[in-house]
Each structure stands twice: as structure tokens, then as C-alpha cells.
Amino acid sequence: MDTAGCLVLGRTKPALALLGGFFAEGRAAKTYWAVVRGGPAAEAGEVSARLMKRSTARDGWWMAVDPAGLPAATAWRVLGRGPEGLAWLELTPRTGRTHQIRVHCAHLGCPILGDPRYGGGEGRMHLLARSIALPLDPPVRATAEPPPHMREALSACGWRP
């Protein structure tokens, strides 16, 4: 809901089934950009941390790293670093769990800027579904430009439009 960028929608039941199969089989390639607080020490890596849904009457629901949860893996690399510990990450989910990118960034110790649920503070979330590729015939690929609210932080980390 708070993520900007590419979104795939199916308008018919057969289209939904086809798209669902691409995602379930790992054949849909998705790439995200995020600006995070306190970037990782390394330049690239992969987070493999199982995720489980949690909820309370007071706080609502959220996802948490839990050994009893479902497998989740996200590859990441630093595209740039900025002032005050900001970093610009490219993230590629290997699985498709709810809030996976957000929880994995927080688990790395670098929550997404503007993500109050997982430690990134108030404001607009700095998470962009940058691109998606689908193995249709012919193949379909879409790329999204960063929204206005992300541009200043991305520029501080080295992004040039």
C-alpha cells in the first residue's frame, strides 16, 4: 500500500491464474529500491530469515522474524551511501512474503526510511517497486521512476536521474 512503483494486475480469472503461477514458481523477476537508515556494513548479501504473522488487539498485525515462520529470502546490494547513515539499496526478493522487504531491511539493522512499523520513523515510505519482468510471449518488463518524495534522499546517496 505504501510502496511506490510497478504493480501487476490481472483483469480476468485466467490472467490471475497465469500471473499467480509466475509468482509462485519464482518466474516473475521483481526489483526494489529503498533508502534505509544505517546501511549495512557489507556492499551486498542475502537475508534468509523466516517470517511469521503476529497480531495484538492494541497494535494490529505485523510480520516478524521467527524460526517457525515461512521461508523468506531477499538478495540486496548497496547502490550508494549518503549522509547521516543513509544508504540506497537494490533488493531482489527470492520469495514473496508479506512485508518481506521491509522486515528483512529492519532485520539487517537498516529499516526503510519512513517505515514506522519496522523502525524507519515517520513520513512517507522510501520503498519503490523499481521493475518487474514477466515471462509472457513476448516478455513484458516495466520500470518505474522514483516518486518525488524519494528523490532528495536518493540524490543524497548518489542517484542521478
Residues 120/111, Cβ–Cβ less than 8 Å:
yes
Could you give the 3-state DSSP secondary structure of residue 62? Answer: strand
Dump pLDDT digits (tens) for 75-89. 999 999 999 999 999
Cell of 55: 497480531
d(CA 46, CA 79): 15
Dump pLDDT digits (tens) for 2-56. 889 999 888 999 999 999 889 888 889 999 999 999 989 999 999 999 999 999 9
Give residue limits of the domains in the chain: 4-156
d(CA 78, CA 114): 19
The CATH class of 4-156 is alpha beta
Could you give the 3-state DSSP secondary structure of residue 16? Answer: helix
- The amino acid that residue 63 corresponds to is M
Scanning the structure block, which residue is given the C-alpha cell 521512476? 145
pTM value?
0.92
Give yes or no for residue 104 having a pLDDT over 80.
yes
